[in-house]
Structure 1
């Protein structure tokens, strides 16, 4: 299933990447303001891990398949 996320508004009720990026930026800003640079780094690292997991789920790829493709093993 492919979704078109290039348009200016939500597609199928799902916000576009710009809205998600703005939300992530605001979360990082609040973490940096109230928690300092360490909290900023923790929020950024957890956000990156969340993005990575979501990316794998969207593609329908398992972790083992992804790691095998990084190493160059093909089945």
Structure 2
């Protein structure tokens, strides 16, 4: 499935949520979609857990 079709489906889902559920439903669907996107990229191996955390430099803490 192409990225254009996936974008179309996501846009339609957000549109339906906004129309039938209001702004709160729109934000909820958008947030859950973003979480699902990140989880999918993580499971595909495109992301690693270390990409979300920054290592602190011990020499700067003094």
Regarding TM over 0.5, the answer is: yes
Give TM-score, length-normalised by structure 2: 0.77
Q: From the CA coordinates, give the structure whose radius of gyration is larger.
A: 2
Cα drift, residue 59 of structure 1: 1.4
Stretches of 4+ aligned residues off by more than 6 angstroms = none
Paired with 1:72 and 1:27, the residues of 2 have a C-alpha distance of: 37
Matches within 5 A, 1:1-75: 15-59=1-45, 65-66=48-49, 68-69=50-51, 70-72=53-55
**Bigger helix share:** 2
Cα drift, residue 60 of structure 1: 6.2
- How many residue pairs align between the two structures? 55
Give TM-score, length-normalised by structure 1: 0.65
For structure 1, which runs of at least 5 residues remain unmatched after alignment? 1-14
Provide, for residues 22-49 of structure 1, a one-character-per-residue CA deviation record: whole Å limited to 9, x for no partner. Answer: 1000000000000000000000000000
